[in-house]
Amino acid sequence: MSDSGGTPVLRAPAHQVSPRAIPYWRVSALVGDAVLVIAAAAVALFVPDVPSWAWLLVVLLAILAVVHVVAMPRIRFRVHRWEVSDTAVHTRAGWIGRQSRIAPISRVQTVDSRQGALMRLFGLASITVTTASAAGPITIDCLDDDVARQVVAQLTAITAATVGDAT
């Protein structure tokens, strides 16, 4: 694909993450934000000589936490995309900032899958593709468990058939 001037234009990766990523991200954010708000409230309550305006900060933090829990998962779901082809792994992620990564298959060194307890509860898994790149690995978060297994098998087959030393 190219623009009217003939300059190549990069399209978005073809696939969205699992729709179950939304409740997973919501629960993850809720747990983390609740710990933060409770800790801030405990400091305001139990530390002697804390100014009275500290409670205003706790309330503000709680409001921001609610906005984070409600808004972030849907925004992330719209942004996070991935694609694996015979030539490259392409991802896009973020919710405030955006990051796009493309790694040629010839640079892939390892493919790992990860599924924590909370991810397992939601039937999700993440894939990490380690490459010969100073930018670090590429991660595809929140795929359906079955899709993640298929992608790992696909990447393993493609990289095994690719000529090169991944350096």
Indicate whether 12 pLDDT > 90.
Answer: no
pLDDT, tens digit, for every residue of 70-108?
A: 999 999 999 999 999 999 999 999 988 999 999 999 889
Contact (Cβ atoms closer than 8 angstroms) between residue 140 and residue 91: yes
The answer on 39 and 22 residing in a single domain is: yes
The answer on 85 and 157 residing in a single domain is: yes
Task: Judge whether 122 lies within some domain.
Answer: yes
Q: At what angle do helices 21-46 and 54-79 cross, to 10 degrees?
A: 170
The CATH number covering residue 113 comes to 2.30.29.30
Q: Which helix (H) or strand (E) holds 129?
A: strand 124-131
The answer on 100 and 72 residing in a single domain is: no
Number of other CB atoms surrounding residue 141 within 10 Å: 21
CA dihedral 66, 68, 70, 75 (to 10 degrees): 170
The answer on 71 and 128 residing in a single domain is: no
Choosing from 40, 55, 77, the residue where a domain stops is 77
Indicate whether 1 pLDDT > 90.
Answer: no
Task: Judge whether 150 lies within some domain.
Answer: yes
The per-residue pLDDT for 160 is 84
Confidence of residue 133 (pLDDT cuts 50, 70, 90): confident
The answer on 110 and 67 residing in a single domain is: no
Average pLDDT, integer, range 131-148: 92
The per-residue pLDDT for 8 is 67
Burial of 89 (C-beta count, 10 Å sphere; 0-12/13-18/19+):
buried
**Which domain, by its residues, includes 23?**
18-77
The per-residue pLDDT for 52 is 85
Total tally of structural domains belonging to the chain: 2
Confidence of residue 167 (pLDDT cuts 50, 70, 90): low
The answer on 157 and 87 residing in a single domain is: yes
Indicate whether 2 pLDDT > 70.
Answer: no
The region of weakest confidence among 6-10, 32-36, 52-56 is 6-10
Task: Judge whether 5 lies within some domain.
Answer: no
Contact (Cβ atoms closer than 8 angstroms) between residue 89 and residue 81: no
pTM of the model: 0.86
Measure the CA–CA gap between 31 and 112, rounded to whole angstroms: 26
The answer on 151 and 118 residing in a single domain is: yes
The answer on 88 and 69 residing in a single domain is: no
